[in-house]
Amino acid sequence: MTDQSGNHHVDEGRKILSVEDLHVAYGAVKALRGISFSVKAGEIVTLIGANGAGKSTTMNCIMGLVKCQAGKIVFLDEDIANMHAFQIVRKGLSLSPEGRRLFLNLSVRENLEIGGLITLDKGKKQELLDEIFQLFPRVKERLTQIAGTLSGGEQQMVAISRAIMQNPDLLLLDEPSLGLAPNLVQEIFEKVQILNSEGKTILMVEQNAFQALRISHRAYCLEHGELNIKGTGAELLANPKIKEAYLGG
């Protein structure tokens, strides 16, 4: 999948992630009851759903932080279900986690460097940094600042940048708009769209259904651990059930 310059090549429109009949349970509590979905190269795919529907569990299970009881997670023709988390990352997936999980005592630059520590070869680093600085000029301004002293929005930008630093084939964003002011939410989603137009494939989990659905190519709605409604972003926006439950009538 990797050519000499370290660029990953994935054909447009090819399925790069497909989740088949995934079951996850925390003890007796069933969090996911057999969900199936797929992500094609070049898409933004969004999972929406209420609290406790299993969105973050899905993300964590794909990334190997939660073990699944049954089902398949196929990433680039390889079943990655129940692999170790660090192995999955090395396959070309990267997650910007819920609550950001930055290294709060380190500088922004150190955060970014640790982001590309394992998966990145040296020549690619500066290229990706430049890409990030273009996308988030604010990150460049704050480069030497300690990450814990940044505002919430800036921290989110750093978290996304750190995930990009791994040069992933598939970028997973877990609640990128969590706890941000409305204008910042707008900005973050614009950036996500720009990222996508530059060729990144994105799987996103979001509470802010309206904003997320507007930019996503396809979307799934998760309820009680099952995927009930699926379609393009526009279809879900027009769906009366979704309107009632997530978009405030």
Partner 1 sequence: MINPYWELVIFLVMINVIFTLSLNLILGYNGQFSLGHAGFLAIGAYGSGVATTALGLPLFAGVLMSIACCIVAAVIVGYPCLRLGGDYLAIATLGFAEIIRIVLLALPEKTFGGATGMQNIHNIYDYLPVPAGAHNGIINLIFTIVFSVVFLALTIWGVFALGNFLNGVLQKRFGGNFWRYIVWAGFVVLIIANLSGTKGTASVSAKPGIAGYVMDIFQFSNAMKQPSLESRQWLVFLIYGLIVLAVNQLIRNFLNSVPGRGVVAIRENEIAATNLGINVFWLKLQNFMLGCAFAGLAGALLAHTIPLIKPIEFGFLKSVDVLLMVVLGGMGSMTGSFVGAVSISVLPEVLRGVGEWRMVLYSLVLILFMLFKPGGIFGTNELSDIFRLPWLKRGRDAEASDA
Q: Where does this chain touch partner 1 (CB under 8 A) — which range of 70-78, 81-89, 177-185, 198-206?
A: 81-89
State how far the Cα of 23 lies from the Cα of 36, in Å rounded to an integer. Answer: 10
Q: What mask, x for binding partner 1 by CB under 8 A, covers residues 194 to 213?
A: --------------------
Q: How many residues bind partner 1 (CB under 8 A)?
A: 30
Burial of 115 (C-beta count, 10 Å sphere; 0-12/13-18/19+) = buried
Sole window of 22-30, 83-91, 182-190, 214-222 interacting with partner 1 (rule: CB under 8 A): 83-91
Q: Can you give the length of the chain in residues?
A: 249
Distance of CA 6 to the CA centre of its chain: 22
Report in angstroms how near the CB of residue 115 gets to partner 1 at its nearest: 6
Contact positions with partner 1 (CB under 8 A) in 134-163: 140, 143-144, 162
- Cβ burial of 226 (10 Å; 0-12, 13-18, 19+) is middle
Task: State in angstroms the smallest separation of the CB of 132 from partner 1.
Answer: 13
Other Cβ atoms within 10 Å of 207 Cβ, number: 15
| Contact status: 113 vs partner 1 (CB under 8 A) | yes
- The reply on whether position 115 binds partner 1 by CB under 8 A is yes
- Shortest Cβ distance from residue 55 to partner 1 (Å)? 17
Name which of 149, 135, 51, 165 is nearest 107 in CA terms: 149
